[in-house]
Amino acid sequence: MSLKEKIEGLFGQTEFSPDDRIVYEQFKTALRRGEIRSAEKDADGNWHANAWVKQGILLGFRMGKMVEMSLSTETLRFFDKDTFPLRPMTLEDGVRIVMGGSAIRDGSYVAPTVVVVPPAYINVGAYVDEGTMVDSHALVGSCAQIGKRVHLSAAAQIGGVLEPVGAVPVIIEDDVLVGGNTGVYEGTIVREGAVLASGVILTRSTPVFDLPNGRVIKSDGDKPLEIPAGAVVVQGSRAVTHGFGKENGLAIYCPIIVKYRDEKTDASTKLEDYLR
């Protein structure tokens, strides 16, 4: 049987043999090498979740046993499932991990030339492609897909998703700049070259106002919110137009696309090349 068939067969079980554990370790190794992914892009540009991969990750939580993961010299103790230790890393991986206390969980793919600045965290099932910088206090959630040459600025939060298994995780495509204190959640797709300014929050239920095109972008049924390629998104607000809100001059947060990326925008983000 294929690895996919083996994982799907094990997913319904509650008790596991040593041979089952071997299958799981093969699965986790394939995740770590980037040979399998929790989500992939079709030829037509649409993203789809690989439900069986997410099943495999959930299987690891069910199969694992709580163990102590601390060193004997440490005062602060760590306890977790033995199926999810830290990702084994060597100099040959080509990943620049700056000293200071970051953590990368096993079952994640981190490509050569990625830079991780402390303290940062990359969770299981995440895929972080070449040339990306995961800056200080940034989070890459479970199964999140991060493209090439992305900058996740300080305190950026990329949400994770494991259940439902068919749900597409957060997708950040190539050459995206995610500003500081920005949050991207609930399967939002940010297309290539977009710029999310500091403090922008994007969720499935967030309407995005596209000023250059005079439209409102929303998630469509089962489809997630999608930020167009090259969009420059900033924090904005819209006035409450009735009742108590209007009487008190209240406004509601909303993200606004103020323009699409141009030479001036590219020049302002050129600093990223010098930080890598």
The Cα 59–Cα 26 span in angstroms is 13
Residue 107 gets the label, from left (phi > 0), alpha (psi -120 to 50) or beta, of left
- Helical (H) or strand (E) element with 245: helix 243-247
The Cα 63–Cα 198 span in angstroms is 40
Task: Give residue 252's identity as a one-letter amino acid code.
Answer: I
Residue 18 lies in a domain: yes
**Stretch 79-107: mean pLDDT, rounded?**
96
Query: pLDDT exceeding 90 applies to what percent of the chain?
Result: 88
**Stretch 198-212: mean pLDDT, rounded?**
96
Indicate if the pLDDT at residue 208 is higher than 80.
yes
**pLDDT (0 to 100) of residue 268:** 63
**pLDDT (0 to 100) of residue 276:** 54
Indicate if the pLDDT at residue 39 is higher than 80.
yes
**Stretch 206-234: mean pLDDT, rounded?**
95
Residue 275 lies in a domain: no
Residue 139 lies in a domain: yes
Residue 276 lies in a domain: no
How many domains would you assign to the chain? 1
Arithmetic mean of pLDDT over the chain: 94
Indicate if the pLDDT at residue 225 is higher than 90.
yes
**pLDDT (0 to 100) of residue 72:** 80
Question: Nearest to residue 202, comparing CAs of 158, 150, 140, 250?
Answer: 158
Q: What is the pTM of this model?
A: 0.93
Task: Give residue 6's identity as a one-letter amino acid code.
Answer: K
Residue 75 lies in a domain: no
pLDDT tier for residue 76 given thresholds of 50, 70 and 90: confident
**Stretch 71-93: mean pLDDT, rounded?**
92
pLDDT tier for residue 82 given thresholds of 50, 70 and 90: very high
Indicate if the pLDDT at residue 207 is higher than 90.
yes
**pLDDT (0 to 100) of residue 67:** 96
**Stretch 121-149: mean pLDDT, rounded?**
98
Indicate if the pLDDT at residue 270 is higher than 70.
no
Indicate if the pLDDT at residue 73 is higher than 90.
no
Pair of tokens at residue 81: 């499932």
CATH assignment of the domain containing 59: 2.160.10.10
- Its domain, for residue 123, covers 3-69+80-270
pLDDT tier for residue 266 given thresholds of 50, 70 and 90: confident
**Stretch 68-84: mean pLDDT, rounded?**
90
